[in-house]
Amino acid sequence: MAAIDDFKAAVAAEDTLIDQAVAFIKGTPDVIAAAVALQASNDDAALAALQADVQAHADALTSALPAPTVTPSTPAVEPIPTA
């Protein structure tokens, strides 16, 4: 029974990670709008802080995702026959 409980916990952790990633991605337009507003107001310190926050979240998301294990292959291109 412990294996099932461990599996349920792992699935819940994955769900949480996915939910956090989705929230981060959905929030990106708001972050961009805030950056534009800060740039327009010449608030360089606030803009730098916002950029640092976005970078920290992006870094956390990147480190949480597994590295790709399969390298995509380039499909062979067949020459077009000429009549």
CA gap 47, 44 in Å, rounded: 5
Instruction: For the chain, list residues with pLDDT below 70.
Output: 1, 68-76, 83
pLDDT score recorded for residue 69? 66
Considering the domain boundaries, does residue 41 fall inside one?
yes
Considering the domain boundaries, does residue 8 fall inside one?
no
pLDDT score recorded for residue 1? 64
Considering the domain boundaries, does residue 56 fall inside one?
yes
Considering the domain boundaries, does residue 27 fall inside one?
yes
Tally the C-alpha atoms within 13 A of residue 18's C-alpha that lie toward its C-beta.
6
How many domains is the chain built from? Answer: 1
pLDDT score recorded for residue 75? 67
Considering the domain boundaries, does residue 11 fall inside one?
no
What helix, strand, coil percent values describe the chain, rounded to 5?
Answer: 70, 0, 30
Amino acid at position 57, single letter: H
Structural domain span for residue 44 = 21-60
